[in-house]
Amino acid sequence: MRVIDNKALLLRLRNNQQVTQVIPKSKALPDNKVVVNWGIDETHVLKNLGINAPSPIEGRYKWTGKHQPFAHQKTTSSFLTLNKRAFCFNEQGTGKTASAIWAADFLMNQGKVNRVLIVCPLSIMDSAWKEDLFTFAMHRTVDIAYGSAKKRAEVINSSAEFVIINYDGVEIVEDEVAAGGFDLMIVDEATHYKNAQTKRWKTLNRLLGSDKWLWMLTGTPAAQSPVDAYGIAKLVNPKAVPRFYGSFRDMVMYKVTNFKWIPKPDATETVFKALQPAIRFTKEECLDLPDIVYTKREVELTRQQNKYYKELKDKMIMQAAGEEITTHTAAVNMNKLLQISSGAVYTDNGETLEFDIKHRYKVLREVIDESSKKVLIFVPFKHTIKLLTDKLRSDKITTEVISGAVKATDRTRIFKDFQEKSDPKVLVIQPQAAAHGVTLTAANTIVWWGPTSSVETYAQANARIHRAGQDHKCTIVQLQGSHIEKRVYALLDNKIDTHTKIIDLYKEILA
């Protein structure tokens, strides 16, 4: 076994001397192998010469964080470090955020990247990216650029190594981002850049220039139509697609009428070639993953929701100061706070006050679009079910409802159709109405529109998709927008029924 340094390696290459394989120095090797202390540059030289050289992250990186990576995450991180512009199409729930964080951290250690801008939906800025950065790269500084233009600019101009920002926020502080020293941009749920005519796309394209790293992450790159691949391909690999959108559309679609286009037989292959370089792992390929992945999505309450939430909370504080709070009173008031967060509250005189659910619905659509199979949505409150169902159906998403008001014979038909037919794609369910017994393995994603107060109901509802007959790993998504929702989810995660902690929880909310 021979060990040579990088300078000697490059000298041998110039002299056309043979190097059969380059692998980490830490491993025991046969005598016909060469061991090299190598970096990113050396790896690219070797690969260009057709030599099997893995990313140096595989031998020169101490995987940081509270958890060690799964095998597929190491492979994903390795792939990203070797591709300045690339796609990661790993399925939802496979831990692609952690893979990107490790890869970025390694490039920082190598001096290839100084600063990273993460562009993602509002719903996962804190709950996914910030939390994962604290978990897997706690030695790095992190901040979120959100709020007024001034506040965003202050964060961009700070010393934070990782800055997290939402899609449309980039345009607000474009000049600051351009001067911010960001070498790497990571775009999560990249399908938001499928349209190359939008301001959002044009802003990112200007900021990228020709020298910046770009990794685009999504589990569903062209889920709605082959033409959805055009915008993201033009950012990562512009030479792989025509200059104009119409030319690409003609490559992948037939025009049937003025208003109808259908995919060509070879559209999938054309899209595959356009979306390179790319890596993809499905949950089923990741044998080391748990069977269920739990994740949280932050939801911004509307101004109207915030107003009534605060008014009710102030009323509760005054009530608590004037009399002893009973379990019943605490339960009623907290239930109203949950109703406001969810989208509709029942007033004291029995009327229903509806709120705009656009923020929560937008996050829900992100999850539905990312899901590889059908979706169950558990909604605790009856009136919110109607609000949500009307919205889904208006967006042409085939939806059925299971609630206490649905007759047993109709439930049987709906469940059968859901399991055996292509439609409906979504079931909106009141948790108590379908938490036991029924099998709904045609779905592998559950979204909790708002929390239930019962651990048993929560566990049984989640078991509808995680049971015999399920051929995919499952994802449970919690939507949370208010303090009360976060606290109830925390109790559920710790297998504690809300009613056993109701007075303590009530006092905490009022603090």
pLDDT of residue 328: 80
pLDDT of residue 19: 46
Among candidates 326, 367, 449, which has minimal Cα distance to 91? Answer: 367
How many Cα atoms within 13 Å fall on the side-chain side of residue 440? 34
| Local structure of residue 136 (DSSP, 8 states) | H
pLDDT of residue 4: 44
Quickly state the pLDDT bin for 477 (edges 50, 70, 90): very high
Contacts of 119 (CB under 8 A, 6+ apart): 165, 166, 167, 170, 185, 186, 187, 188, 204
CB 72 within 8 A of CB 281: yes
- pLDDT by residue (tens digit) across 109-146? 999 999 999 999 887 888 789 989 999 999 999 999 99
- pLDDT by residue (tens digit) across 416-433? 899 999 999 999 999 988
| Local structure of residue 15 (DSSP, 8 states) | T
Question: CA-CA distance, 281 to 69, in Å (whole number)?
Answer: 14
Number of neighbouring beta carbons within 10 Å of residue 385: 25
Question: CA-CA distance, 407 to 469, in Å (whole number)?
Answer: 26
Q: What average pLDDT does the structure give for the chain?
A: 86
pLDDT of residue 306: 92
- pLDDT by residue (tens digit) across 343-378? 988 777 777 888 989 999 999 998 998 888 899 999
Quickly state the pLDDT bin for 235 (edges 50, 70, 90): very high
Question: CA-CA distance, 277 to 201, in Å (whole number)?
Answer: 20
Beta bridge partners of 120: 166
pLDDT of residue 80: 97
Max mean pLDDT range (3-12, 408-417, 479-488): 479-488
Q: Distances in Å between the alpha carbon of 463 and those of 78, 286, 449, 467?
A: 35, 21, 17, 6
Quickly state the pLDDT bin for 25 (edges 50, 70, 90): very low
Q: Is the pLDDT of residue 210 over 60?
A: yes
Strand ranges (E), 189-230: 213-217
Residue 396 in tokens: 């042409």
Of 4-13, 246-255, 465-474, which gets the smallest average pLDDT? 4-13
Sketch out the chain's domains with CATH numbers: 2-54 (no CATH), 71-282 (3.40.50.10810), 293-299+355-510 (3.40.50.300)
Q: Is the pLDDT of residue 206 over 90?
A: yes
Question: CA-CA distance, 99 to 86, in Å (whole number)?
Answer: 13
Of residues 476 and 284, more confidently modeled:
476
- Sign for the CA dihedral angle at 128, 130, 133, 138 comes to negative
Of residues 17 and 79, more confidently modeled:
79
Of 19-23, 364-368, 473-477, 499-503, which gets the smallest average pLDDT? 19-23
Q: How far is CA 92 from the centre of its chain?
A: 7
Pairing of strands 260-263, 253-257: antiparallel
Of residues 318 and 163, more confidently modeled:
163
Q: How much of the chain, in percent, has pLDDT values that exceed 70?
A: 91
Q: Is the pLDDT of residue 9 over 70?
A: no
Q: What is the largest CA-CA distance in the chain?
A: 89
pLDDT of residue 1: 34
Question: CA-CA distance, 120 to 355, in Å (whole number)?
Answer: 26
Q: Distances in Å between the alpha carbon of 268 and those of 221, 222, 228, 476, 502?
A: 11, 9, 12, 30, 53
pLDDT of residue 337: 92
Contacts of 289 (CB under 8 A, 6+ apart): 70, 72, 93, 94, 95, 283, 473
- pLDDT by residue (tens digit) across 68-110? 898 999 999 999 999 999 999 998 778 899 999 999 999 999 9
Q: Taking the chain, what is the end-to-end CA distance rounded to the nearest angstrom? A: 67
Number of neighbouring beta carbons within 10 Å of residue 34: 20
Question: CA-CA distance, 471 to 76, in Å (whole number)?
Answer: 23
pLDDT of residue 268: 92
The torsion angles phi and psi of 315, rounded to 5 degrees, stand at -65, -40
Query: Kindly report the CA angle at 53 between 50 and 59, in degrees rounded to 5?
Result: 175
The torsion angles phi and psi of 427, rounded to 5 degrees, stand at -115, 125
pLDDT of residue 35: 57
Mean pLDDT of 329-342: 88
